[in-house]
Amino acid sequence: MIHKFDFLVIGSGIAGMSFALKVAQKGRVALLAKTSLEEANTFYAQGGIASVTLPWDDFEKHVQDTLIAGDGICDKRVVEKVVREAPQQIKELIRWGVDFDKNQTGGFDLHKEGGHSEFRILHHKDNTGQEIQESLIRALKNHPDIQVFDHYFAIEILTQHHLGQKVTKDTPNIECYGAYVLDEGTNEIHTFLSKVTMICTGGIGNIYQTTTNPVVATGDGIAMVYRAKGLVKDMEFVQFHPTALYNPMERPSFLITEALRGYGGVLRTRDGKEFMHSYDRRGSLAPRDIVARAIDSEMKSSGSDFVYLDITHKDPEETQKEYPTIYEKCLSEGIDITKQYIPVAPAAHYLCGGIVVDTDARTTINRLYAAGECSRSGLHGANRLASNSLIEAIVYADAAAKHAMAHLNQFAFKEGIPEWNDKGTSLTEEMVLITQSAKEVGSIMSNYVGIVRSNLRLERALERLEIIYRETENLFVRSTVSRDICELRNIVNVGYLVIKQAMERKESRGLHYTIDYPRKNAVAVS
């Protein structure tokens, strides 16, 4: 079946939905959700969204905080763009119905998180992402020119390659014409043709054993663009959130927001000793890469699987009011956070690299845009400053919308696109192989490409992943296309990119720490 839309949006988080709402004034929009509209990284973002709002705060402070966290890799033009455009996009979110918490004087009730020099994190209790997601969904469902396709999984973006033309990374002017998409309800593969395609597929957390990301975060957009010869960069910079609730039986890991440390939470060893001041003068409010390495160091030196986060010294009523989601979740696990320490451990959380985009959110493939966690704008550099991700997503979705609408009349639907060739058979052992291979990828990435790396570990990871790659490609060619085999293929592709780009960086920088190129004053363990 062939569908034609002016705009095709792949992904249903803040970037995808805000882009759809903005471009719908110019044409018909198809928005693909891999599962339901609610299942996106945005939904799980607890902490909040960063923007300058206080009179004693200013853009330059926010810019400097971002540059410091990014460890010399940020694009300053991009940082200034996002920081300066943030307040207007906050107003847009409020117009769409997002209810940010207010203080007693009617101003925003702002949090402060690690790496920020001022209170500038707008939030809705401790479930900001859920509030944003649900508000955008309400706006989206009421729009007559946006058609939502639930449980539609994009397999590949359409380029000249599908017309029999040879496409290499050096091919000038690669064009995107839409995507091949699997309807999981009927198991049929549809062809979506579009004048403009927007990729907002989120992160890659599920290439690791432990992650705060939802199960849909398998790097699909990045893998598709990579296979289409688009430019992907900075994949070595994977951010591990320092404080996920320690519960080996749960996936995804439950996030204990960084705002708890801004609230006054203190990290302690298993025997109750505060340890962060031994690593950084900012203590428990140091940037995430430093905190994650410090926790990793303490865990390895003690042989423990977790450390503690302590907020028992805070007012119990205030804690329950400000952090009801965390309070109830921990209580369900037998932990009263007003009286007991919270067991926490690092978990894969956010990717700072991805699909390379310019300041209009254009990728290196014509007619293809990207925004959100799947993209690499240059904002985060080597390490993301807390709560900068949601604001980046909506600022870049806005930039993409403006550029795409201004140039829409220059594009036309591509004719002669062949249907997907799906002549494979369903193999009886297919699911066993897929499940086992996915677990192996998670084990490889967690053991060898985690918080602390080395040349030997990376080489070992690459050798093992190449075996899985060959097996997966052979299985993909021979078997009927399914979401499971496509996701496995994507996490293998993305894992390869993380490893290769980590091997190419001959230094320790931000989130990429290697014992072969140690950095002075950096936290390290062997």
Write out the catalytic residue numbers.
288
E strand or H helix at 145? none
Query: How far apart (Å, rounded) are the C-alpha atoms in residues 395 and 250?
Result: 33
Answer yes or no: are the C-beta atoms of 148 and 5 closer than 8 Å: no
Query: How far apart (Å, rounded) are the C-alpha atoms in residues 198 and 221?
Result: 10
Query: How far apart (Å, rounded) are the C-alpha atoms in residues 76 and 288?
Result: 20
Strand 121-122, strand 49-50: pairing: antiparallel
Q: Is 80 exposed, middle or buried (0-12, 13-18, 19+ CB in 10 A)?
A: middle
Read off the tokens for 40: 């996106």
* Cα angle value 405/409/415 (rounded, 5°): 115
Question: Which residue in 69, 143, 3, 106 sits closest to 350, CA to CA?
Answer: 69
Strand 49-50, strand 452-453: pairing: unpaired
Phi, psi (degrees; rounded to nearest 5) at 154: -70, 125
Answer yes or no: are the C-beta atoms of 266 and 309 closer than 8 Å: yes
What region does 509 belong to: left with phi over 0, alpha with psi -120 to 50, or beta? beta
Give, in order, the Cα–Cα distances in Å from 25 to each of 127, 200, 457.
Answer: 30, 20, 51
Read off the tokens for 426: 């369903």
Read off the tokens for 190: 């549809």
DSSP string, 161-214: GGGT----TT-TT-B--EEEEEETTTTEEEEEEEEEEEE-----GGGSSSBSS-
